[in-house]
Amino acid sequence: MSVKLVHVSRYYGEQPAVDDISFEIHAGEVVGFLGPNGAGKTTTMRMITAYLKPTAGEIEVCGHNVVHAPLAVKRVTGYLPEQNPLYPDLYVREYLRWMADIHRLGKRSWQRVEEVIAMTGLQKESHKKIGALSKGYRQRVGLAQALLHDPEVLILDEPTSGLDPNQIIDIRQLIRELGQRKTVILSTHILQEVEAMCNRVIIIHRGKIVADGALEHLRQQASAHQVLEVEWAEALAEGWWKEVPGVQQAYAAHAHQWQLIVDDAEAAQKNLFRYALQNNLNIISLQTQMRSLEEVFHQLTQA
């Protein structure tokens, strides 16, 4: 695995910011790391990148312990913090070449700088001072420095902050491509970004992990019932659904379209087809209605 946390806690005085959390993330995963403000997201990311030491527990990044080998961890990790620390008086290329020297890229420095400038779409702005850039382009500079040393693990805190819709599409595509060969941990308050980029979600609340899994799995777990939407060729009378096992309640958009509340969507679908066959009815469409990530997030973190 690329990132492994085992019973990790971080205290500030007697206050736990992170409270006994464990998870593993492997190469090729793009993981959305979510939680309300103050939940422990930033503290966790800073511990993974070896900027903070855990009070208890063990963290390994690509086999390196963050306490015993912090420099090795930083060599394999790229970090874009939420408060993107840049030098406004430096030119974009000047800043990136300086960062390349810090990473000791040697003869590859200038070539790698040009590669990340192209990857992050900075070509037209690379001749400017960082202080003259828009917030969106400053964010791209921060992402470029995180990518500069070609790290195995990327920690991105609000990577699309300040970007316009076209820029967001470009960065989404870049992150998805990077996620095919790297480990990417993505934290954002824009839940649509998580749905667009991530194949797994971890939700932290009050310092504890409250959910961890594939998005569709979390949607199902967070709901006591599932919703089926069925459209009939025929108009059905009120109460027909009471003859279908597994349907708890039903609501009609009109006589042809119904929304069904069920315990088990797969079993209910089979029962619906059986009901249609027995009553010589025709189903035009039948689909499971998925809960939004926003609904799941609210349910898990409202307490």
Structural domain range at position 132? 88-146
| Sheet with 3-12: strands ordered across | 15-25, 3-12, 56-61, 64-65
Report residue 220's pLDDT band, with 50, 70 and 90 as the boundaries: low
Q: Judging by beta carbons within 10 Å of its beta carbon (0-12, 13-18, 19+), is residue 144 exposed, middle or buried?
A: buried
- 């992170």: which residue's tokens? 18
* DSSP secondary structure letters along 209-257: EEEEE-HHHHHHHT-SSEEEEEEESS---TTGGGGSTTEEEEEEEETTE
- The verdict on 44 and 72 lying in the same domain is yes
Q: Are residues 51 and 160 in the same domain?
A: yes
Average pLDDT over residues 8-19: 94
207 neighbors 16 (Cβ within 8 angstroms): yes
Decide the pairing of beta strands 64-65 and 3-12.
unpaired
Q: How many domains does the chain have?
A: 3
pTM (2 decimals)?
Answer: 0.77
The interaxial angle of helices 135-147 and 165-178, nearest 10 deg, is: 10
Shared domain for 166 and 62, answered yes or no, is yes
Residues 71 and 155 in one domain: yes
- Asked, for residue 142, whether it belongs to a domain, the answer is yes
Last residue of a domain, one of 146, 163, 188: 146
Length of the chain: 303
In a domain, 119, yes or no: yes
Q: Each residue of 38-81: pLDDT tens digit?
A: 899 999 999 999 999 999 999 999 999 999 999 999 999 999 99
CATH number at residue 46: 3.40.50.300
Mean pLDDT for all residues in the chain: 90
Q: What CATH number is associated with residue 271? A: 3.30.70
Token digits of residue 234: 């025929």
At 149, list the tokens. Answer: 């040393």
Amino acid at residue number 166: N
Give per-residue pLDDT as tens, 223-259: 556 788 999 999 998 899 999 998 988 888 888 999 8
Q: Do 280 and 164 fall within a single domain?
A: no
pLDDT at 18 over 90: yes
pLDDT in tens, 113-160: 999 999 999 999 999 999 999 988 999 999 999 999 999 999 999 888
- What is the average per-residue pLDDT within 208-236? 82
Same domain, 171 and 201: yes
